[in-house]
Amino acid sequence: MKHLLLVFVMITASVITCAAQTVTRIEAQPEQLQMRAGESADLVILAFDQDGRAISTPLRISGARGALQFADGRVTALQAGDFEVFVSSVPEDGEEPITLNIPVYVAWPVITNMRIYTANVRLFEGARVVHDVVATHADGSVRPYPEIAWSSSDETIATVDAFGNVRAIGTGTVTINAMSEGVTGALTHTIMASPVRSLVMTMGQEQIRTGDVQGFVAIARDESGAIVENAPISWSYVYQPDDSIVAPSGPAQMLDGRMVADVPGVYTAIASTGGASAEFSFRVMPRNAVRKLEVVGQGTEDRIFTTDFWIWQGVDGRDYAMTGSKFGDGVSMVWDVTDPGNIFKTDSVFVDARTTNDIKVSPDGRYGAVSREGASNRRNGVVILDLADPGHPVVASTFEGNGVTGGVHNMFATDDYLFALAGGDKYVIIDVRDIYRPEFVSEYNHPNSRVHDIWVHDGLVYSAEWETGVVVVDVGNGKYGGSIENPAFVTSFPLTTGSTHAVFPYYQESTGRFLLIAGDERVQRQGLAWEGTGSDHRQQFDPVTGKGGYPRATSGYIQIVDFTDPMNPEQLARYEVSEYGTHNIWVEDDVLYQAYYEGGVRMVDISGDLMGNLYTQGREIAVFKAHDPIGYIPNSPGAWSVMPWKGNVFFSDINSGMWAVKVQPAGRPIS
């Protein structure tokens, strides 16, 4: 009996490609899976025709990204929970798809080790110190959010609450225990009377703006005036609103002496330890970052689903842009954007593809590259364009080898090399010094990881690799032993959500930090109160069936990481907008430019030190949503990519082509 083996590779939707046949029933063997995280199991999908015969036919398969993974013919569970694998036939026009939901129940492995840890402080009588615990399984993996039972060996010396907060109320030796699933971790303290007699706070400013980070230092001294090292400091604050509006429940955040306020008012920061406390009051003013935004021009496109774009200065001195398409039968549009108020099309480029997802142009404007997915001969790869006549590109060559035949979703172009993703599994480095004879140079494939986007900066490749997070590879930086011919792994850094989709490296001059701006992509809102309108958001409205024409529903956010020391990255802040999800990113002059899908294009002030959620701090400068009544899906914003260029902000919109907007100089505050 013929059958189709499930190919489930941590992507939202995948298609098993072979000749289409009519499907009347889909079955799974087994009908459901029960497993523990880290375990693997076989899953076979059977498609049947109207005569009950098993057939080989295209099937769409999707599931919970980051929760399940396919490798070597087996489904591997990555995290605990109840999930579903969704299988659908690929129907002809007007037909309803045949679907099957396969339940997958995943439990965690048993905990085998518990370790308690605290900050590097001394626990004195009268002080409180937070204790945390790391619970691990036999394979060394960490259990997230274990259920912990805390206890103290002597509550006359120290008590511990349900959250690991230990308060010393006497002197002597005491052991703090943490137990989960019958496994116990222990940490012993010898508690002394507090030598602290005074506490002084320094470094505060008396007036700041919302979003500005205050960094306090608390100095503890003993009776003789000597500094007490490693004194346990507890931080808190008090808030007074500056008007009659009732304050929000969380007007500010404080962590280890760093504090950021989301709303205006008067705040008092408080530092305390056994035997002493100190305060510092300051006023927080509105940030007033909002600026007016003017629509400059539009390159209208309502016939296809517009994807990525790139702007460059042509060798003739004029400015051009190229936009790709999804389900557009391989067309890419070329635009003259020299006058952003008069954007006009100069040409179209056609390649053998269903989707041209990504467009890149070399910094010197010598060549362009179009990524291909869904080629008729299944040999995708990249098409390299000669831009000697930038308004009318011509195909110079096609590169189809070394794994890129499986589809190229994203790329990065330097003057001499093109970095191309190969089937989402690795990236291939291509020598394009002779664009008519591109040559394979090398490749990098991070183990057990899926790559979605890359950015090359100073000889380092920063790749966004879903639940792996950000992976850094040396391709010529020189500090880590890598070269363009022999890429060398530097480090990797997992991020909070496990949906790392895009990354942008940025040196912040105001602080001297090197930042990584990393964005999620979740084209779904599963589990949220408003989950959206389903999977038809890519289809135009069909007046005959009444289907299609829905705006997409996304989630996810931006995470900002201090990567100054690549071996010790620190997550600083985030930009999270309720009910919208981020897509592509650009950063320039301390402004974060965001293509936020149905949330429009958004500009955010990221100057200075960063902490908390920038969205709630008044750091947004401007937002524009492209409501176009004649769009591919009318009046449905869908910002895909954004790029500042010569004083204007250009962005591509899924449903309406390409736009140019301009942020006006700061003037009277806008409410």
CATH number of the domain at 76, please. Answer: 2.60.40.3450
φ and ψ of 225, to 5 deg:
95, 0
**DSSP 3-state of 284:** strand
Looking at residue 12, its pLDDT comes to 33
Give the residue from 261, 285, 309 where a domain finishes.
285
Cα separation, 469 vs 449, in Å, equals 9
Strand partners, 510: none
Residues 94 and 145 in one domain: no
Residues 45 and 119 in one domain: no
* Domain interval for residue 169: 111-191
Looking at residue 7, its pLDDT comes to 41
Q: Is the separation of the CB atoms in 197 and 276 below 8 Å?
A: yes
What is the token pair recorded at 258? 């760093």
Q: For residue range 428-479, what is the model confidence (pLDDT) as tens digits?
A: 999 999 999 999 999 999 988 889 999 999 999 999 998 899 999 999 998 9
Residues 8 and 100 in one domain: yes
Cα separation, 137 vs 39, in Å, equals 13
Residue 561 lies in a domain: no
Residue 253 lies in a domain: yes
Q: For residue range 121-139, what is the model confidence (pLDDT) as tens digits?
A: 889 999 999 999 999 999 8
Above 90 in pLDDT, residue 623? yes
Residue 275 lies in a domain: yes
Looking at residue 405, its pLDDT comes to 86
Residues 206 and 144 in one domain: no
Looking at residue 667, its pLDDT comes to 65
Looking at residue 3, its pLDDT comes to 33
Above 60 in pLDDT, residue 327? yes
What is the token pair recorded at 171? 């002197």
Residues 74 and 167 in one domain: no
> What average pLDDT does the segment 260-276 reach?
92
Residue 14 lies in a domain: yes
Looking at residue 244, its pLDDT comes to 56
Residue 178 lies in a domain: yes
Looking at residue 58, its pLDDT comes to 81
Higher local confidence (pLDDT), 551 or 597: 597
Q: For residue range 355-382, what is the model confidence (pLDDT) as tens digits?
A: 999 999 999 999 999 999 988 888 889 9
Give the residue from 191, 213, 236 where a domain finishes.
191
Above 90 in pLDDT, residue 60? no
Residue 381 lies in a domain: no
What is the band of 94 on the pLDDT scale with cuts at 50, 70, 90?
A: low
CATH number of the domain at 216, please. Answer: 2.60.40.10
Above 60 in pLDDT, residue 500? yes
> What average pLDDT does the segment 248-277 reach?
90
Please, which residues have CB within 8 angstroms of residue 140's CB and are 6 or more apart in sequence?
Answer: none
What is the residue-averaged pLDDT of the chain? 89
Residues 271 and 203 in one domain: yes
Residues 101 and 32 in one domain: yes
Residues 147 and 215 in one domain: no
Residues 98 and 158 in one domain: no
Residues 117 and 103 in one domain: no
Looking at residue 4, its pLDDT comes to 34
Give just the sign of the alpha carbon dihedral 489, 495, 499, 504. Answer: negative
Cα separation, 148 vs 135, in Å, equals 9
Cα separation, 93 vs 539, in Å, equals 12
Q: Is the separation of the CB atoms in 304 and 325 below 8 Å?
A: yes
CATH number of the domain at 123, please. Answer: 2.60.40.1080
Give the residue from 146, 169, 191 where a domain finishes.
191
Looking at residue 534, its pLDDT comes to 57
Looking at residue 67, its pLDDT comes to 81
Above 90 in pLDDT, residue 159? yes
What is the band of 275 on the pLDDT scale with cuts at 50, 70, 90?
A: confident
Residue 87 lies in a domain: yes
| Residue recorded with tokens 């022999």 | 486
Structurally, the chain folds into a number of domains equal to 3
Looking at residue 601, its pLDDT comes to 97
User: Residue 32 has what DSSP assignment?
Assistant: S
Looking at residue 61, its pLDDT comes to 76
Above 50 in pLDDT, residue 521? yes
Residue 257 lies in a domain: yes
Residues 47 and 12 in one domain: yes
Residues 206 and 164 in one domain: no
The region, left, alpha or beta by phi > 0 then psi within -120 to 50, assigned to residue 515 is beta
Above 60 in pLDDT, residue 670? no
